[in-house]
Structure 1
Amino acid sequence: MSFKSAVKSLFTLNNVSRPWHLPVAAGITIGAPAVLGALTGTFTDAMIASLGSMVFLYMSPTRTASRMLTMILCTFGFMACLTLATLSASVAGLAPVALFVIAFAVIVITRYYCLPPPGSFFFILASCIAMAMPFDLAATPERVGLIAMGGMWAVLMAFIYSLLTGAHKTVSAPVQVDERVNAIVLEALFLSLCIAGSYGFALWLQLSNPYWVPISCAAILQGATFRMVWHRNIHRIVGTVVGMLLASVIFSFQPPALVLAILICILQIIIEMLIVKHYGLAVIFITPLTVIMAEITSSGMDATLLLEHRLVDIVLGSVLGFIGGTIFHRTDFFRRLEQKMAPRSRLSELLFSTPDDGHNKGN
């Protein structure tokens, strides 16, 4: 691809659309806990529930029963990630190690079961935000409970949405798995090392909001090809700069919690409409949304200062993600390493074998 074509592709809108009611349902589902929290004076706690309600974004285009099962399992995954991330914050220097374990587990599971985008991303995002919260062992059950409540609310909304849109009438598709276990494990090891390493590097630099560095790194590494990694890197940095201007305008009016909660609904609707068409345009609205949700850990930090810190974190995380993506996609090291590995290791048999496999072996 020529340089001119590569630059042109940065501005190309994908010819993909979603039914108008899906973004609306996502916006209402994710924003409703925030609205309830604003009305009851528990806006900070409600942000955790809204984070859990992002399970709605994992609603697969399958029958209602399959959707419910996938989302319930994702909710338990959110709870497990939040628990481990919260407990890791009790020991200095343990957080990057815990993030490596979390990222490795969710990448392997989501890749093996071919979970479509956002894949492992929101599990990592929830973990990073939990690590940035002030450690309070007594508050851990409450935080996990809020995530669970948000997830169950998302499951309920997905069930209602599925009934209204006739998802229960669709033909049930078989569960798809990716049998390239060695490739998945190698990819997960490298990507987890990049994500955890970016967090450790941010902590070493003593950044004010270090959790945005691994979040940005993970977002860039979501690209399936080097071209997508390069595009995501440019889109995320430029989109964040523009989005920060939008966030500055929003916070200049010092909006109350209820207005911020309503903005979460509106921004989420816009994001879901744009994310399939152009990642850079979606990031413009993702930025103010995530800044609002950063109220969980900002502890009253001045909005302008919060935005300035976020820009540094985003750029650093995007650059580190781009470097990691370049190494992964532009070298054949991992392909050669995969070829040297056994076609199916004993560990992979234990982790991914089915009951039928064991029955056949017995015969």
Structure 2
Amino acid sequence: WLMACAFGMAASYALGLMTHFLPLAKVGVLALIAMLVTMVCRFYRVGPPGSLFFVMAAAIGAYTPGTVEEIPLRVGLLTMGALLASLIAFVYSLQVLRLQPADAVPPLQPPTFDFVVFDSVVIGAFVGLALAIAQALQLDRPYWVPVSCLAVIQGVSLRAVWNRQLQRVLGTAIGMLFAWWLLSLPLDAWRIALLVILLVFVIESLVVRHYGLAVIFITPLTILLAEAATLGHAPLAELIASRFIDTLLGCVVGLVGGICLHSARFRTLFGNPMRRLIPRQPPS
């Protein structure tokens, strides 16, 4: 499964990098990635964050400046990182198995059309819509809009969607202040790498306890990952403000998508026509 995730991450990032040179395809490709990856994650009952980081990789790639010749190098570097992570997890798993026996793998629940197909199509559509709105508003490199939308719309209930929206907006606001302070420090490549390590450690420790607290540290992490090569080229206040606007817009679109996703009327209106597209199985 880790190798599959590594491949999916590399493929998502590669597609995102390619769409940087095909601006008209960005919305469709990102929506398709969100839809397909969400389908796979839901089919195999992958827990949170699900498809979030695959879409984040694609979105960051779509707005990363560069040349066509640099695509293989960048995809290769990301693939090496993903494979290294898989290797570390594999070695760690072997160590854990030496100390305690493996738990039995529970059988997967039977996939349903609504959970796997319909929800994924709606999520992909709203992720694409979020990016389309951001592009229509001519936001500067709005990679964070569809990511914020996806993070909110994935709530398991309408209450969870609303709570996630509030936590993400408040966490991002505080995280922006934290990021402002971090980015005002004298940073070089080694210090940025150290900051990324520390932030990832804190995020992994907090995300299972409180999503809002984790977002405070996710915000500077994503800025460092996406903007590391261009830090100092633009006013810091402008960068922080634009990321907050991106988050706010994405959360609003995600909230609307969550309301639709958990609306029985919406599901009936659009779900039934989608079911008719599926060929009926012949009687056995």
Give the TM-score of the pair, scaled to structure 2: 0.90
The offset of 1:177, in angstroms, is: 4.8
SS in 2 for 1:285: helix
Distance across 2 between alignment mates of 1:316 and 1:340 = 30
Runs of 4+ in 1 over 6 A off after TM superposition: none
Which residue of the partner structure matches residue 252 of structure 1? 184
Q: Does 1:115 align with 2:46?
A: yes
Which residue of the partner structure matches residue 252 of structure 2? 319
- Matched letter for residue 157 of structure 1: I
Which residue of the partner structure matches residue 31 of structure 2? 100
Distance across 2 between alignment mates of 1:135 and 1:260 = 21
Give the TM-score of the pair, scaled to structure 1: 0.72
SS in 2 for 1:166: helix
Which residue of the partner structure matches residue 78 of structure 2? 147
SS in 2 for 1:101: helix
The offset of 1:331, in angstroms, is: 3.9
Which residue of the partner structure matches residue 222 of structure 2? 290
Which residue of the partner structure matches residue 306 of structure 1? 239
Contact 2:42 2:115 in 1 (8 A): no
Contact 1:182 1:343 in 2 (8 A): no
After superposition, the Cα gap between the structure-2 partners of 1:319 and 1:348, relative to the gap in structure 1 and judged at 3 Å, is farther
Q: Does 1:203 align with 2:135?
A: yes
Contact 1:235 1:280 in 2 (8 A): yes
String of CA shifts for 1:112-148, please: whole Å, max 9, x gaps: 1111111111110000000001252211111221121
SS in 2 for 1:116: coil
After superposition, the Cα gap between the structure-2 partners of 1:256 and 1:341, relative to the gap in structure 1 and judged at 3 Å, is closer
Distance across 2 between alignment mates of 1:248 and 1:185 = 40
Distance across 2 between alignment mates of 1:212 and 1:230 = 19
Select the residue among 155, 158, 169 that pairs with 2:101: 169
String of CA shifts for 1:6-26, please: whole Å, max 9, x gaps: xxxxxxxxxxxxxxxxxxxxx
Q: Does 1:90 align with 2:21?
A: yes
The offset of 1:200, in angstroms, is: 1.1
Distance across 2 between alignment mates of 1:336 and 1:297 = 46
String of CA shifts for 1:309-340, please: whole Å, max 9, x gaps: 11111111111111111121134321565467
Q: Does 1:185 align with 2:121?
A: no
- Matched letter for residue 83 of structure 1: A
The offset of 1:341, in angstroms, is: 6.4
After superposition, the Cα gap between the structure-2 partners of 1:203 and 1:274, relative to the gap in structure 1 and judged at 3 Å, is same
Distance across 2 between alignment mates of 1:171 and 1:327 = 38
Contact 1:107 1:188 in 2 (8 A): yes
The offset of 1:169, in angstroms, is: 2.7
Q: Does 1:233 align with 2:165?
A: yes
- Structure 1: unaligned runs, 5 residues or longer: 1-69, 350-362
Distance across 2 between alignment mates of 1:150 and 1:253 = 26
After superposition, the Cα gap between the structure-2 partners of 1:179 and 1:155, relative to the gap in structure 1 and judged at 3 Å, is same
- Matched letter for residue 156 of structure 1: L
C-alpha RMSD of the superposition: 2.4
User: What percentage of aligned pairs have identical amino acids?
Assistant: 35
Contact 2:175 2:217 in 1 (8 A): yes
Distance across 2 between alignment mates of 1:264 and 1:342 = 45
The offset of 1:75, in angstroms, is: 0.9
Distance across 1 between alignment mates of 2:124 and 2:270 = 17
String of CA shifts for 1:227-247, please: whole Å, max 9, x gaps: 111011001111111111111
Contact 1:247 1:288 in 2 (8 A): yes
- Structure 2: unaligned runs, 5 residues or longer: none
Distance across 2 between alignment mates of 1:275 and 1:293 = 19
Q: Does 1:276 align with 2:200?
A: no
- Matched letter for residue 257 of structure 2: G
- Matched letter for residue 78 of structure 2: I
The offset of 1:182, in angstroms, is: 4.6
- Determine which structure has more spread, i.e. the larger CA radius of gyration: 1
